[in-house]
C-alpha cells in the first residue's frame, strides 16, 4: 500500500514539474512582460531594473527552478494587470469554480449513472432509446449553446432563474460559498446543468456500455445459474464490476469539468478561475495565466491520485498484485 502510494506520488511530482515547465515557457515565448508593464517613455535603466527584479536576466534553467521554488513556497507572484498577489486572486476565485464543478459533477453522476444502468439493463425499451437520443444531444451540442438556450428559456422567457453571477455568497473563513443562500443556489442551477450536461451524457453512455459488457460475462451467467435474485445480480455483481472504469472516467472528468468551466463561466459571467483566466489572456497577464495552468494541472494530478487510490479500494486484484511486487 505504502509503496503504491509513493510510486503514484513520484509520478505526480514528475507530471507537475512538466506542467510547470509549460507554464514557465509562457513567460519566455508569449511576449515580453516588461513591455506590458511599463509606459512608452520609461527609461532603459528602469526597464533593466524591472528585468532584474523579475530575474529575467538569469539563465533559463535558473529561472525555471526559481519559478518552481516560488510556487512551492506559496509565492505565486503578482498579477501584471491588477498588481494584486495571484495567490489572493486565485483564492477568491477558486471556491466559485470548485463549487460549480463539483455540483455539475454530482449532477452528471446522479443522473447519468441511473440512466446508464437502466439503458444497460433494458437495452430494448423505449425509454432507453429516448435516453440514448438525449445523450447524443448532450455530447454533440456545444456547451455555450446549451447555456444560452437555458438562459433564453428560464431567464428571459420564464424569468425563473438569474442569468449571470453567483448570487449572494456567504463567507466561511477564506471560503466563499454560494450554497448557503437562496439566490446562490438559484444562480448555480443553470451553470451546473450546462457544465454537467456533456459529462452526464458521457457517464450514461459509458455505464451503459460497461453494463452490457459485464452482463455478458460468465460470472454473471453463473450468478444467474445459481438462482441469485435479479437485484443481487444486476446491482451487486454487475454494477460493482461496471464501477471500476466509471470511477476512472468520472475522476478524470472532474478535472475536465474544472478546466472546461471556462466556457460556462464566461456564458454565465460566473466569477471563477476560468473567467479570471480569460481576462488574463485578454491583457496578456502572463503570471496569472501560468499560475492558472499550474493550478489546473495540480487539480488534475490530485484527482488522478485519488482515483488510483479508489481503484485500489474497489479492486482486490490490484491489492494482491502490488503486495507481490508485480505492480502494474
For 88, the grid coordinates are 489572493
Three cell numbers, residue 80: 501584471
Other Cβ atoms closer than 10 A to 41: 6
Q: Is 129 in the site for another protein (CB under 8 A)?
A: no
Among 39, 44, 218, 282, binds another protein (CB under 8 A): 218
d(CA 266, CA 271): 9
Q: Which stretch binds another protein (CB under 8 A): 46-54, 165-173, 183-191, 222-230?
A: 222-230
Q: Which of 122, 144, 175, 219 binds another protein (CB under 8 A)?
A: 219
Q: Does 225 bind another protein (CB under 8 A)?
A: yes
Report if residue 2 touches another protein, rule: CB under 8 A: no
Phi-psi bin for 28: left (phi > 0), alpha (psi -120 to 50), beta?
Answer: alpha
Shortest approach of another protein to residue 226 CB, angstroms?
4
- Give the span between the Cα atoms of 316 and 294, in whole angstroms: 34
CA distance 174 to 191: 23
Reading the block at residue 1, the C-alpha cell is 500500500
Residue that has been written with the C-alpha cell 479500494 in this structure: 313
By C-beta, is 44 or 216 nearer to another protein? Answer: 216
Nearer Cβ to another protein (45/218): 218
For residue 298, give the C-alpha cell.
495540480
Size of the site for another protein (CB under 8 A): 23
Query: At its nearest, how many Å lie between another protein and the CB of residue 135?
Result: 24
Residue 228 binds to another protein (criterion: CB under 8 A): yes
What distance in Å separates the CA atoms of residue 295 and residue 259, rounded to the nearest whole number?
A: 10
**Region binding another protein by CB under 8 A among candidate stretches 81-89, 193-201, 261-269, 308-316:** 308-316
Residue 140 or 226: the one with the smaller Cβ distance to another protein is 226
Q: Does 49 bind another protein (CB under 8 A)?
A: no
Please name the residues in contact with 51: beta carbons below 8 A apart, sequence gap of 6 or more. Answer: 34, 57
DSSP designation for 181: S
Q: Closer to another protein at the Cβ: 28 or 224?
A: 224
Inter-helix orientation angle 126-140/86-121, to 10°: 150
The reply on whether position 315 binds another protein by CB under 8 A is: yes
Write out the binding residues for another protein, residues 240-259 only, by CB under 8 A: 240-241
Binding status of residue 226 toward another protein by CB under 8 A: yes
For 193, the grid coordinates are 446543468
Q: Which residues bind another protein (CB under 8 A)?
A: 217-219, 221-230, 232, 236-237, 240-241, 314-317, 320
Amino acid at each position: 500500500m505504502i509503496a503504491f502510494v509513493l510510486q503514484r506520488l513520484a509520478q505526480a511530482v514528475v507530471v507537475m514539474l512538466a506542467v510547470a515547465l509549460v507554464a514557465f515557457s509562457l513567460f519566455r515565448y508569449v511576449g515580453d512582460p516588461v513591455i506590458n508593464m511599463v509606459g512608452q517613455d520609461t527609461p532603459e535603466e528602469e526597464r533593466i531594473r524591472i528585468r532584474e527584479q523579475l530575474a529575467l536576466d538569469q539563465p533559463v534553467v535558473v529561472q525555471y527552478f526559481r519559478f518552481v521554488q516560488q510556487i512551492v513556497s506559496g509565492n505565486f507572484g503578482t498579477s501584471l494587470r491588477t498588481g494584486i498577489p495571484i495567490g489572493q486572486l486565485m483564492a477568491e476565485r477558486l471556491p466559485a469554480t470548485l463549487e460549480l464543478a463539483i455540483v455539475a459533477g454530482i449532477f452528471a453522476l446522479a443522473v447519468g449513472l441511473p440512466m446508464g444502468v437502466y439503458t444497460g439493463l433494458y437495452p430494448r425499451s423505449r425509454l432507453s432509446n429516448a435516453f440514448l437520443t438525449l445523450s447524443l444531444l448532450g455530447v454533440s451540442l456545444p456547451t455555450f449553446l446549451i447555456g444560452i438556450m437555458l438562459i433564453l428559456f428560464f431567464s428571459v422567457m420564464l424569468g425563473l432563474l438569474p442569468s449571470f453571477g453567483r448570487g449572494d455568497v456567504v463567507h466561511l473563513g477564506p471560503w466563499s460559498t454560494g450554497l448557503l443562500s437562496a439566490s446562490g443556489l438559484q444562480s448555480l442551477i443553470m451553470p451546473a446543468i450546462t457544465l454537467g450536461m456533456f459529462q452526464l451524457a458521457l457517464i450514461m453512455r459509458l455505464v451503459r456500455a460497461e453494463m452490457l459488457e459485464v452482463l455478458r460475462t460468465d460470472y454473471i451467467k453463473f450468478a444467474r445459474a445459481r438462482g441469485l435474485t435479479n437485484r443481487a445480480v444486476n446491482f451487486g455483481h454487475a454494477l460493482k464490476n461496471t464501477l471500476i472504469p466509471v470511477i476512472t472516467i468520472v475522476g478524470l472528468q472532474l478535472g475536465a469539468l474544472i478546466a472546461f468551466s471556462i466556457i460556462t463561466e464566461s456564458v454565465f459571467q460566473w466569477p471563477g478561475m476560468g473567467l479570471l483566466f480569460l481576462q488574463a489572456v485578454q491583457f496578456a497577464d502572463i503570471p496569472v495565466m501560468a499560475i492558472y495552468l499550474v493550478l489546473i494541472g495540480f487539480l488534475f494530478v490530485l484527482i488522478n491520485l485519488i482515483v488510483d487510490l479508489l481503484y485500489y479500494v474497489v479492486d482486490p486484484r490490484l491489492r494482491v498484485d502490488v503486495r507481490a511486487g508485480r505492480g502494474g
